[in-house]
């Protein structure tokens, strides 16, 4: 049909129209790509992802004691013997010659050890798959009324070991137990023996990291002796107020000492770091056992860690408190009369009495009644929220995957 005169649609225009229609039919619709001018503005969010960030990942690790020169090792041996002659290993400053007598810790020149074995009750990054080579020392420089290892820490139970014998046990844990580390538990009062044992084990083939697992009631002189020997510091910061420490730990200077000690520990080893297998190798890991009724002190500890130590500090907010040691025992009368019989006390302690409350049997008050209960979920949550609000973000939480929580 001939094109009408004056029509604007020529053959070229018709072809272009057909092509455009077909292009719309066969080309899928795509979302518009924003240009730099139209890109949405994202607010600057400071929340950090909970993953193993590169600053805390180690390609490999050599324990610090393995890099000591022979001269430095000799100096540490001499200093260790000097500490034993005039003991200043903790803030008690007994000043006794431990070759002749003991101080508050009840330990002389030989370390008294209660248990040596691979241990699977530590943090996942500490115990790993093969366990932590734990060494439980008898005696302690604190007298925590709620101590959950009171049969070890408050008494002299165990075997006496020279530093050389103790070092040989480290080697057995490494060779036979195939442990990931040597975990020294409550070692504050035996630091010279520990230093000598590490140096002995080093000369005989020890190659795993050393963990110093303490209450944080250490002296700076003691930590100076350990500098270069310890890879992981694992202190437990218990309480904040001097009055609380005096009542429950029998040391009113505990909090001030713990603050000083933990800062010195962090200065030596920094924040907690791992190798790719998820095992901690060096750094600081701080524990806090939440106490019933003392959650506000726990919150103060969290705020101090974030502001004075590091916001990258690895923290374990522990919730396994239970009444133990002297907590819940019936107060003794001044005259010594009355009270429950030994059989009644034993029955209640073992849970065999139909009336589980000894006070109801005797009509007497219990000791440390304010902490004679389990900690509540609200108290634990209070401490955790305070830690997060302060900026702490690296917590020892149960993993949401089949592996370690880092």
- pTM of the complete model: 0.79
87 is in an annotated binding site: no
313 is in an annotated binding site: no
Beta bridge partners of 394: 314
Q: What are phi and psi of 274, to 5 degrees?
A: -130, 155
Query: How far is the C-alpha of 239 from the C-alpha of 258, rounded, in Å?
Result: 9
pLDDT of residue 343: 54
Q: What is the pLDDT along the chain (406 residues), one digit of tens a residue?
A: 444 444 444 445 554 554 454 444 444 444 444 444 444 454 454 544 444 556 888 988 999 999 999 999 999 999 999 888 888 888 888 888 888 877 777 777 888 898 999 999 899 999 999 999 999 998 888 888 988 877 776 677 789 999 999 999 999 999 999 999 999 999 998 999 999 999 999 999 999 999 999 999 999 999 999 999 999 999 999 999 999 999 999 999 999 999 999 999 999 999 999 998 889 999 999 999 999 999 999 999 999 999 999 999 999 999 989 887 788 888 876 555 544 555 555 454 444 444 445 455 555 788 999 999 999 999 999 999 999 999 999 999 866 655 554 4
pLDDT of residue 49: 43
105 is in an annotated binding site: no
Q: What token pair was written down for 334?
A: 């001044």
Q: What token pair was written down for 252?
A: 């009113």
Q: What are phi and psi of 371, to 5 degrees?
A: -115, 20
> Which residues neighbour 344 within 8 Å (Cβ) at sequence distance 6 or greater?
353, 358, 361, 362
Query: How far is the C-alpha of 141 from the C-alpha of 119, rounded, in Å?
Result: 23
Beta bridge partners of 133: 118, 182
pLDDT of residue 2: 46
C-alpha angle 155/156/158, rounded to 5°?
120
Q: Residue 115: helix, strand or coil by DSSP? A: strand
CB 114 within 8 A of CB 156: no
User: What are the C-alpha distances in Å from 288 to residues 42, 235, 241?
Assistant: 37, 9, 14
Beta bridge partners of 113: 137, 159
pLDDT of residue 170: 97
């Amino acid at each position: 049909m001939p094109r009408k005169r004056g029509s604007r649609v020529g053959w070229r225009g018709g072809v272009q129209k057909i092509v455009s229609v077909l292009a719309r039919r066969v080309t899928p619709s795509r979302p518009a790509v924003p240009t730099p001018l139209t890109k949405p503005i994202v607010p600057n969010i400071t929340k950090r992802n909970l993953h193993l960030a590169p600053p805390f990942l180690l390609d490999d690790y050599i324990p610090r004691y393995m890099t000591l020169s022979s001269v430095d090792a000799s100096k540490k041996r001499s200093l260790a013997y000097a500490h034993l002659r005039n003991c200043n290993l903790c803030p008690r400053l007994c000043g006794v010659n431990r070759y002749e007598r003991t101080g508050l810790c009840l330990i002389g020149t030989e370390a008294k050890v209660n248990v040596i074995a691979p241990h699977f009750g530590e943090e996942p990054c500490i115990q790993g798959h093969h366990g932590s080579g734990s060494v439980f020392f008898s005696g302690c420089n604190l007298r925590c009324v709620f101590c959950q290892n009171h049969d070890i820490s408050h008494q002299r139970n165990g075997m006496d070991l020279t530093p050389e014998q103790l070092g040989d046990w480290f080697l057995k844990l490494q060779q036979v137990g195939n442990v990931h580390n040597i975990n020294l538990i409550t070692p504050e009062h035996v630091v010279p023996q520990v230093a000598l044992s590490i140096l002995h084990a080093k000369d005989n083939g020890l190659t795993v990291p050393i963990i110093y697992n303490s209450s944080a009631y250490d002296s700076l002189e003691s930590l100076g002796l350990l500098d270069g020997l310890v890879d992981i510091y694992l202190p437990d910061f218990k309480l904040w107020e001097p009055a609380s420490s005096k009542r429950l730990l029998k040391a009113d200077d505990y909090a001030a000492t713990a603050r000083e000690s933990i800062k010195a520990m962090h200065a030596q080893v920094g924040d907690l770091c791992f190798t790719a297998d998820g095992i901690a190798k060096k750094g600081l890991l701080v524990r806090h056992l939440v106490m019933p009724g003392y959650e506000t002190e726990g919150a103060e500890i969290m705020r101090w860690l974030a502001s004075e130590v590091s916001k990258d500090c690895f923290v374990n907010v522990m919730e396994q408190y239970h009444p133990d040691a002297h907590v819940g025992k019936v107060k003794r009368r001044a005259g010594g009369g009355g009270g429950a019989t030994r059989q009644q006390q034993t029955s209640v302690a073992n849970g065999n009495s139909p009336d589980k409350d000894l006070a109801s049997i005797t009509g007497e008050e219990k000791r440390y009644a304010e902490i004679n209960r389990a900690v509540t979920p609200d108290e634990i949550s209070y401490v955790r929220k305070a830690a997060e609000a302060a900026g702490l973000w690296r917590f020892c939480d149960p993993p949401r995957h089949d592996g370690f929580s880092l």
